Amino acid sequence: MRDFHQPGRSAVFADQGMCATSHPLAAQTAIGILQAGGNAVDAAIGAAILLGFCEPQMTGIGGDMFAVIKTPGSDDIIGLNASGRAPAGLSAAALRAAGHATMPLDSPHAVTVPGAIAGFCKLHGDHGRMPLDQVLAPAIHYAVAGIPVAPRVAADWNESAASLKGEAAQSRFLMAGHAPRIGARFAAPGQAEVLKRIAAQGRAGFYEGEVAADMVASLRALGGTHTEADFAAQQADYVTPLRSQYRGAELIELPPNGQGAAAMLLLNILENFDLAALDPWGAERVHLEAEATKLAYDARNRFLADPDHMTRLDHLLSKDTARKLAALIDPNHAMADANRTSEAVHKETIYITVVDRDHMAVSMIYSIFHSFGSGLASDKFGILFHNRGAGFTLAEGHANEAAGGKRPMHTIIPAMLKLADGSVMPFGVMGGAYQAAGHARFVTNVVDYGLRPQQVIDAPRTFAELGELKIERGYGADVRAALEAKGHKLVTPNLPIGGSQAIHIHPDGVLEGGSDPRKDGIALGY
């Protein structure tokens, strides 16, 4: 139990339905859809699309989506990969010849076909209960009426406003040339028109006709190779989730091109150490996690790619591989950063989880990659393009080398955790590259230290990245000194590390939700 003398959040308990997300309006929308007769899929879709207007720097209909769904009345779990493919004309050789060593982040070459809408429409058609126009109605309303900008959103917006490029993006996402202040009303009427077409026509309203033509023309005018055929061909795919055991609990992740396998490898490495015997907030645990993260991410960068091009997944998930990597960790000294390939640092996303009265559970993540994605928007409708193609490498012969029709390595990963008592916990961690490390830390906090979802989410975080150990202010001076003595280069980031949401479906049917104070959102149930 938390100390009620101290600032903090109480967990949310309910038994009919629950949503946990990073913006209160999205949580309220999800609950409203559930109460109106929709199921968890309907609620997750409606709230997620709304988040594109609540947090436009994080996500939007020009992005990608992944989901893990527990079907009602059973233990069946399905996965959906709704990440976009590169246009057929993308060529790593041509980019290298033009002088690029890495994928250009803010160019149309980094824009893969947005996959999220294909995923939303597929999920809704196969598993939704409420008509699509009703599911999209709240997002359409608020896109027209506008949404007051929340405090964390305003901070992110101000930090990334310079990434918006061209009249189409700047006129729609800046106010008088600047990031909006807290409480300023943000609207996106052009995107509301797009949603109306999707509500009436399904995926064809986005990937064909006037909307697709607007996106293609805008990208080609900037030098992109995209065609309307690239957009018309985009499909979302059901995938078989990966399952991995950690000390009696089962972690469920999606297979590549996401980095769920990296989270599993990280946990497999940590399983070789007695974490439960360590202070959960002490330097020794932080050190082990940092070193394991370096090793797991190095493996991720070497092997993860479009599943049609990846051959080393079994090696990545092998307990023997993890044992060999664990043996490289010195408990007293930080290693130099493992070799990394040239893909970009991954940053921004939103995560949402919804559980309905039938215990259908949705774990969904939805992103435009960097803050404001590519910084480019379509001319007519103002659709902000993600830059997921920046997840490719230009290294010749690499499994993740950029190529037409290929999906890039992704960092956004939804997950579920099955505990030894049979209960299920959909959860996710925002924060781009941090997500695999965040998943591993979430699981160890639950399994090794017995923490409840809100306690896990509230706890301070660290992240070993690019030769630095990012550390939140929740860690004291003694821990910092001990880590520096082990050779870690400590950096306190301007903004906290990531965000998180989770819902624990207890064996008796009670729902327990947690949301992250690092964001603006809430868990809400009824």
Per annotation, catalytic residue among 349, 353, 393, 462: 349
pLDDT at 339: 56
Q: In sequence order, which residues have a C-beta less than 8 Å from that of residue 508 and are 6 or more positions away?
A: none
Question: pLDDT, tens digit, for every residue of 67-117?
Answer: 999 999 888 999 999 999 999 999 999 999 999 999 998 899 999 999 999
Per the confidence metrics, is the pTM higher than 0.85?
Answer: yes
Question: pLDDT, tens digit, for every residue of 5-24?
Answer: 888 889 999 999 999 999 99
Q: For 42-179, where are the E strands, in sequence order?
A: 64-70, 77-82, 147-148
pLDDT at 2: 75
Catalytic site residue 21?
A: no
CA distance 70 to 505: 11
pLDDT at 360: 98
DSSP category for residue 68? E
Return the domain boundaries, the chain: 24-236+353-391, 239-344+413-525
Q: Identify the H or E element spanning 109.
A: none
Q: Which two tokens stand for residue 129?
A: 């209960």
| Lookup result for tokens 């769904």 | 69
Question: How many CA atoms does the CB half-sphere of 264 hold within 13 Å?
Answer: 32
Return the closest-CA partner of residue 390 out of 111, 88, 92.
111
pLDDT at 347: 54
Domain 239-344+413-525 class in CATH: alpha beta
Q: Which two tokens stand for residue 203?
A: 């995926």
**The CA-based dihedral angle spanning residues 170, 176, 182, 187, taken in that order and rounded to the nearest 10 degrees:** -60
Return the closest-CA partner of residue 506 out of 5, 32, 18.
18
pLDDT at 466: 87
- Please give the mean pLDDT across all residues of the chain: 95
- Residue 340 CA: distances (Å) to CA of 182, 245, 285, 294, 303: 38, 27, 24, 10, 11
pLDDT at 415: 98
pLDDT at 279: 97
Parts of the chain with a pLDDT under 70: 1, 337-348
